[in-house]
C-alpha cells in the first residue's frame, strides 16, 4: 500500500490512540521513528535540508493485509513465514511544510492539499499577484493599474489564502469531511475568540499530524499511535533539540486534530487527570508571611484546568493568603506566600522595583559543539568559574503555548547573570522574571547553548530517539536556591537558602 512501511515486531499496541499534545512516545512509535531517522541519514538530498531543522512525524497503523492467525517469532517475523511476510503493523511518515522545497517525496505521505503544482490555480494566482506588485513598484502607484485589476495585491493575497484553506477537506475517523475554515471557526465559536482568531494562520494543515491522519483515513488504515520528533539544528526561533520528541503544536493543530481524532479512542489530556498531591515543607513562617519549599511537579497558583497548587493548599490553612511570585511547575525551591492581600501588595512592589534577589541552580546537559560551549568542548573543566550575562528579549509563542521565543525586535527585556560552579552546575541570577527565562537563556544558542536537564520544552526531556546521548532526568533540574527581600512589616533583611534536592 502506498507510503506504508512495515514494522516486524512483537511489541503490543497501546490501549488507546495518542493524545497528541502531551504524550510519552509508545515503543512502536520509537521503532518507526528510528527507521525514519536511518532513512534521513542515508539520503543526502533530504538530509541536507533536514539538517537545517525540520519536524518529522510517524503514525503507526494496523496492517490490513496481516492475517489474524499470524504469530510473531523471536526474530520479529511471523512464525513459520519467510522474512518478507507482512507484519501486524506498519507506519506512515511525514514532515512539516516542505522538505528541500518539495512535498512529493515517495517515502513520505503527500500533503492534505498540494498547492505546489506549477500550473495549478494557487501558483498561477501567486504569479499574478507578484506581477501586480512588480507593476506597482515600477509605476509607483496603485491607482495607475486600476484598468488591470480592481483589487489591491493585499486583498488578492487574502482571497487566495482563503481559497486555499477551503481546499483542505479534512477527514475524521468517522469518515466525515469538513474544510479547514469551517473547522477553525467552529472551534473558535465564541465572539471574543472569533475576533482574535478569525482565520487560520498560514501553513495550517501542513504539519505532520494532519498529513498522517488524512492519509491513513484515505487509505482505510486504522491509527494506533503517533509521535513527532525534531531533526537537525537547534534554530534560534524553534529552539528544539535534535532527535527529541515533541507534542503537536497547539496554535495550528489543536482545532484540526480536535476534529480529525473524532471517532478514535484517544488517551485523555493528562492535565484533566490532576497532579500528585505533594507535601509543601515550610522553611519560615511568622504572622505575615511564609517561605515554603515548593516541590517539583506542583503549580504555584491554580492553572487553567488544574486547581491543586501551593496557593490553594496554603489557603486551606490561611484563607486570605496569596503566592507573592511564581515558579514553573517543574522548578523546585523557595517561594514566598503572603498571608493577606496587604502583605501581598507590599511584596509585589519589591518585585516590581527589582529589590528581591534570587539565585537559582540549574544542572545542564553535557557540553557539546553549540554556542558558548564550543570554546570549552576540548577542556571539560574550563567552564568552572566562568561568569557572564545573557540578554535575550522574549515573548510568548501564540501558535504554540506555553512555549516562549526569543524576539530581538518585539520581545520584552530579559537579563540573567550566570556563574558555573562545576562544568554542568550553573548558578543563575535573573534581573527580570519572564516566563521560562532561565530555561531559554540556558538552551538558546546565543545563551549558554546547553538546555537544563529534564526540560521537555527546550531541552531533551526524558525521551529522545537516541536517549543515551543525553541525561535522563526525571524532573526539570532547576531549583530556586536562595532568595533575599525586605520584610514588609519589620523591614528586616530576610535571606533564605536551600540546597539542590536529591533526586
Backbone angles phi, psi at 91, to 5 degrees: -140, 155
Strands (E), 160-272: 169-171, 177-179, 222-231, 245-246
Q: Indicate the SS3 state at residue 473.
A: coil
Phi, psi values for residue 163, rounded to 5°: -60, -40
Taking the CA atoms of the chain, what radius of gyration do you get in angstroms?
26
The DSSP result for 10-61, as a single string, is -PPPPSSB--TTS-PPPHHHHHHHHHHHHHHHT-HHHHHHHTT-EEEEEEEE
Residue from 479, 144, 142 nearest 331 by CA: 479
Residues annotated as part of the active site: 328
Question: Could you tell me which residues come within 8 angstroms of residue 65 by beta carbon, excluding any fewer than 6 positions away?
Answer: 1, 86
| Most distant CA pair in the chain, distance | 82
Beta strand residue intervals within 339-489, DSSP E: 357-363, 387-391, 394-396, 404-406, 415-420, 425-430, 478-486
Backbone angles phi, psi at 411, to 5 degrees: -75, 160
- DSSP code string of 273-314: G--------EEEE-SSEEEEEEPTT-BSS--SS---BHHHHH
- Cα distance between the two ends of the chain: 48
d(CA 330, CA 456): 10
Backbone φ and ψ of 222, nearest 5°: -95, 120
- Asked if 296 and 331 touch (Cβ cutoff 8 Å), the reply is yes
Angstrom CA distances, 185 to 179, 180, 191, 259, 266, stand at 10, 9, 10, 12, 23
Three-state secondary structure of 87-117: CCEEEEEEECCCECCECCCCCCCCCCCCCCC
Contact at 8 Å (CB) between 201 and 251? yes
The Cα 242–Cα 55 span in angstroms is 10
**Spatial CB neighbours of 98, under 8 Å, sequence gap ≥ 6:** 116
Per-residue b or e along 257-277, where b marks 16 or more CB atoms closer than 10 Å to that residue's CB? bebbbeebebbeeeeeeeeee
Amino acid at each position: 500500500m502506498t507510503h506504508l512501511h512495515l514494522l516486524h515486531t512483537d511489541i503490543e499496541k497501546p490501549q488507546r490512540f495518542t493524545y497528541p499534545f502531551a504524550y510519552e512516545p509508545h515503543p512502536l512509535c520509537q521503532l518507526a521513528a528510528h527507521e525514519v531517522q536511518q532513512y534521513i541519514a542515508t539520503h543526502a538530498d533530504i538530509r541536507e535540508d533536514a539538517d537545517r531543522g525540520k519536524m518529522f512525524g510517524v503514525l503507526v497503523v494496523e496492517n490490513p493485509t496481516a492475517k489474524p492467525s499470524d504469530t510473531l517469532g523471536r526474530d520479529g517475523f511471523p512464525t513459520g513465514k519467510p522474512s518478507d511476510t507482512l507484519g501486524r503493523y506498519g507506519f506512515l511518515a511525514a514532515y512539516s511544510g516542505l522538505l528541500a522545497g518539495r512535498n512529493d517525496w515517495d517515502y513520505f505521505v503527500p500533503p492534505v492539499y498540494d498547492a505546489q503544482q506549477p500550473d495549478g490555480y494557487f501558483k498561477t494566482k501567486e504569479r499574478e499577484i507578484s506581477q501586480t506588485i512588480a507593476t506597482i513598484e515600477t509605476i509607483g502607484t496603485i491607482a495607475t493599474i486600476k484598468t488591470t485589476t480592481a483589487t489591491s495585491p493585499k486583498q488578492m493575497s487574502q482571497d487566495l489564502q482563503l481559497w486555499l484553506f477551503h481546499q483542505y477537506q479534512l477527514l475524521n475517523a468517522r469518515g466525515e469531511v469538513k474544510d479547514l475554515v469551517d473547522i477553525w471557526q467552529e472551534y473558535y465559536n465564541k465572539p471574543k475568540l472569533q475576533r482574535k482568531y478569525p482565520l487560520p494562520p498560514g501553513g495550517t494543515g501542513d504539519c505532520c499530524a494532519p498529513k498522517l491522519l488524512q492519509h491513513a483515513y484515505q487509505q482505510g488504515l486504522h491509527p494506533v499511535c503517533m509521535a513527532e520528533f525534531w531533526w537537525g539544528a537547534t534554530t534560534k526561533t524553534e529552539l528544539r533539540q535534535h532527535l527529541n520528541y515533541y507534542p503537536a503544536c497547539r496554535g495550528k493543530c489543536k482545532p484540526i486534530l480536535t476534529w480529525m481524532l473524532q471517532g478514535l479512542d484517544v488517551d485523555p489530556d493528562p492535565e484533566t487527570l490532576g497532579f500528585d498531591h505533594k507535601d509543601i515543607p515550610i522553611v519560615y513562617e511568622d504572622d505575615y508571611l511564609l517561605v515554603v519549599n515548593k516541590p517539583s511537579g506542583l503549580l504555584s497558583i491554580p492553572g487553567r484546568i488544574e486547581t491543586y497548587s501551593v496557593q490553594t493548599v496554603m489557603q486551606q490553612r490561611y484563607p486570605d493568603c496569596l503566592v507573592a511570585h511564581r515558579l514553573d511547575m517543574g522548578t523546585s525551591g523557595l517561594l514566598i506566600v503572603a498571608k493577606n492581600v496587604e502583605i501581598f501588595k507590599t511584596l509585589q512592589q519589591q518585585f516590581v522595583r527589582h529589590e528581591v534577589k534570587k539565585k537559582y541552580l540549574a544542572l545542564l546537559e553535557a557540553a557539546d559543539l553549540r554556542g558558548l560551549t564550543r570554546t570549552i568542548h576540548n577542556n571539560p573543566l574550563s567552564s568552572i568559574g566562568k561568569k557572564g550575562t545573557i540578554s535575550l528579549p522574549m515573548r510568548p509563542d501564540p501558535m504554540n503555548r506555553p512555549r516562549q521565543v526569543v524576539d530581538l525586535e518585539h520581545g520584552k527585556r530579559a537579563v540573567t547573570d550566570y556563574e558555573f560552579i562545576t562544568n554542568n552546575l550553573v548558578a543563575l541570577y535573573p534581573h527580570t522574571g519572564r516566563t521560562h527565562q532561565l530555561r531559554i537563556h540556558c538552551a538558546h544558542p546565543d545563551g549558554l547553548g546547553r538546555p537544563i536537564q529534564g526540560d521537555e520544552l527546550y531541552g531533551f526531556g526524558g525521551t529522545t530517539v537516541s536517549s543515551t546521548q543525553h541525561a535522563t532526568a526525571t524532573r526539570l533540574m532547576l531549583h530556586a536556591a536562595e532568595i533575599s527581600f525586605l520584610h514588609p512589616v519589620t523591614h528586616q533583611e530576610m535571606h533564605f537558602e536551600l540546597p539542590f534536592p536529591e533526586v
